């Protein structure tokens, strides 16, 4: 019979495996006490814990997972790294420490309930930290908004600059008093300048409108992407809720069926007990019947005695 200490140790290991985001196995034979302490400190700084346990107890703790590849690695001097936070950080620490200390060998691990080979753990360690990825996503969402804000701010500024340039050009080219013979040429020149200025203004406006349209398209695309991500998250949550409801309904049905079976068993037992009691207790009619037979027999006997006495009297006469 297992000792209570071992049963408690198995329960603790199982609880740590179930609660961790990832579990990594590493052979630590050859590491000094100082090196093991340094490894523990680095893992603790990244939200992980390195523990050395008996492999027999560890195999009992993970037997319910039914992952043969993982259970086969629980042999020899193997330490378990429980990543309660970001698994990437713990994988990076183990990879870097193994490079600096050849005696430390990463054997495999679990990510959730998925088995990881040493190669996949190395790929996991190459992923950028969670904070960096979140910063990149935020930057990707922020860039189109910043671009649109810049375009909207530049539109009135460009229009003001164009108007200022037109005013300066008119002031510089306007004559003081043109001669009578030169009036047609001046008028034709001013008309041509007005046309050129209108063309320039239209070009500036079209360019600004194109930039605004591009910014609006970028914003719309970002909004569509964000909405798609939110919908996917909502669908995942709904699916999990539906699964939970189905599981609860199945449990309730099982409980009701079990209760019905127990009630049926009780009902079948009750009639048998009543019939046994009836057979054990004699009825009043059974008691009265023999008494009635006895009285009839007595009555018959008395009548026979009376007839015999009568016959004897006649013979004497």
pLDDT band at 288 (very low <50, low <70, confident <90, very high): very low
261 pLDDT more than 90: no
Q: Is residue 159 situated within a structural domain?
A: yes
Strand blocks (E) in the chain: 22-27, 48-52, 78-83, 105-111, 114-116
Q: Is residue 139 situated within a structural domain?
A: yes
Q: Is residue 299 situated within a structural domain?
A: no
CB 51 within 8 A of CB 9: no
Task: Report the CATH number that the domain containing residue 42 is assigned in CATH.
Answer: 3.30.70.1730
Separation of alpha carbons 317 and 310, rounded Å: 11
Average pLDDT over residues 250-257: 72
Same domain, 54 and 92: yes
283 pLDDT more than 60: no
Same domain, 169 and 212: yes
Same domain, 47 and 102: yes
- Beta strand pairing status for 78-83 and 114-116? unpaired
Q: Is residue 121 situated within a structural domain?
A: yes
Separation of alpha carbons 312 and 258, rounded Å: 84
Lowest-confidence segment of 54-68, 206-220, 255-269, 292-306 by average pLDDT: 292-306
**Number of domains, the chain:** 2
Same domain, 114 and 135: no
Q: What percent of the chain is modeled with pLDDT above 70?
A: 61
The range of the structural domain enclosing residue 74 comes to 4-127
Same domain, 45 and 122: yes
The conformational region for residue 110 under phi > 0 = left, psi -120 to 50 = alpha, else beta, is: beta
Same domain, 81 and 58: yes
Same domain, 47 and 13: yes
Name which of 54, 57, 47, 65 is nearest 109 in CA terms: 65
Lowest-confidence segment of 1-5, 171-175, 219-223, 273-277 by average pLDDT: 273-277
Domain endpoint, select from 127, 159, 193: 127
Domain endpoint, select from 127, 142, 159: 127
Tell me the per-residue pLDDT of 98-155, one tens digit each, with 9 for 90 and over: 999 999 999 999 998 899 999 999 999 888 766 676 777 777 776 677 777 777 776 6
Q: Is residue 162 situated within a structural domain?
A: yes
Cβ neighbours, 10 Å, residue 203: 11
Q: Is residue 256 situated within a structural domain?
A: no
Q: Is residue 237 situated within a structural domain?
A: no
Average pLDDT over residues 31-58: 93
The strand pairing partners of 116, in sequence order, are 109
Domain endpoint, select from 202, 222, 242: 222
Please provide the average confidence, as pLDDT, over all residues in the chain.
Answer: 74
Q: Is residue 303 situated within a structural domain?
A: no
pLDDT band at 40 (very low <50, low <70, confident <90, very high): very high
Same domain, 157 and 60: no
Helix (H, G, I), strand (E, B), or coil: what is residue 129? coil
Same domain, 55 and 77: yes
């Amino acid at each position: 019979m297992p000792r209570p200490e071992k049963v408690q140790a198995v329960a603790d290991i199982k609880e740590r495996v179930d609660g961790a985001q990832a579990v990594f196995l590493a052979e630590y034979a050859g590491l000094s006490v100082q090196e093991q302490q340094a490894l523990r400190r680095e893992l603790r700084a990244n939200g992980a814990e390195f523990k050395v346990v008996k492999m027999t107890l560890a195999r009992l703790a993970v037997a319910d997972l039914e992952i043969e590849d993982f259970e086969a690695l629980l042999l020899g001097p193997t330490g378990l790294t429980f990543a309660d936070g970001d698994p990437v950080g713990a994988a990076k620490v183990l990879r870097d420490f193994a490079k600096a200390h050849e005696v430390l060998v990463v054997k495999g691990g679990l990510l959730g309930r998925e088995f990881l080979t040493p190669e996949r753990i190395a790929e996991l360690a190459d992923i950028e930290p969670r904070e960096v990825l979140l910063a990149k996503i935020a930057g990707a969402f922020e860039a189109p908004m910043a671009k649109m804000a810049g375009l909207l701010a530049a539109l009135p500024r460009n229009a003001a600059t164009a108007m200022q340039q037109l005013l300066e050009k008119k002031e510089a080219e306007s004559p003081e008093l043109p001669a009578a013979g030169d009036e047609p040429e001046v008028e034709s020149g001013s008309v041509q300048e007005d046309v050129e200025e209108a063309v320039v203004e239209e070009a500036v406006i079209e360019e600004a409108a194109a930039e605004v349209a591009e910014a609006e398209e970028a914003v719309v695309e970002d909004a569509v992407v964000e909405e798609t991500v939110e919908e996917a998250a909502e669908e995942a949550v709904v699916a999990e809720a539906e699964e939970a409801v189905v599981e609860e309904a199945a449990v309730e049905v099982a409980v009701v069926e079990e209760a019905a079976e127990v009630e049926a068993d009780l009902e079948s037992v009750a009639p048998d007990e009543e019939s046994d009691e009836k057979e054990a207790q004699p009825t009043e009619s059974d008691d009265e019947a023999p008494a009635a037979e006895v009285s009839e027999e007595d009555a018959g006997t008395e009548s026979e005695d009376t007839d015999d006495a009568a016959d004897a009297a006649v013979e004497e006469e």
